[in-house]
Amino acid sequence: MRGNGSPYWRRERMGAALSDAGRAATGATLIGPPRRAARPARWFTAHLGFEAADPGLARELAVGYAEALSLLRPELALGAAALSPAGAWHLAERLFCGAAGPDGEHCVDVAGHPGFHHAPGPGGLGWGDGD
C-alpha cells in the first residue's frame, strides 16, 4: 500500500499532460475550468462614523450624508440607510420612510414625516393621506 496516496496518482495522470507530446496528442491544458460557479452579487453596507452633540443632531447629519452620497452615487440604496450609536449596531433606526408607492417607487422623506409620501427626484409622485 506504500505509494498509493493521491499525490502519486496525480503525478501518474498528469505525467502525460505535462509533457509537450502528451499535451499535443490529448489537447489537454494545464489550466482547467473553475470548480465553483461565480457567486452572485450580494448586498454590502458602508458605515460612517461621526460625532454629534445629541441624537437629533446626529440624525440630521446622517440624513444629510446619506442624501449627499445618493447624489454622487445613484446606485446606492437610500432607503436602507440607518443610524445607530457607535458600538450598538442592534439599535439601528431607519433614516428614511421607504413606504411603497403605487408605481413601485419608495418614499424618500425622513422616517416619521407627516403628510404625503414622495418619490425621489424633482416632481416625484406624491401619494397617501394629505397633510
pLDDT digits (tens, 9 = 90+) for 20-43: 555 566 666 667 777 788 888 888
pLDDT of residue 115: 83
The model's pTM is 0.61
In the chain the beta strands, taken as DSSP E runs, fall at: 82-83, 93-94, 117-118, 126-127
Report the share of the chain in percent with pLDDT over 70: 74
Residue with cell 428614511: 96
Which has the higher per-residue pLDDT, 113 or 58? 58
* Dihedrals phi, psi of 100, to nearest 5 degrees: -75, 135
pLDDT of residue 53: 95
- Buried b / exposed e over 106-120, threshold 16 CB at 10 Å, is bbbbbbeeeeebbbe
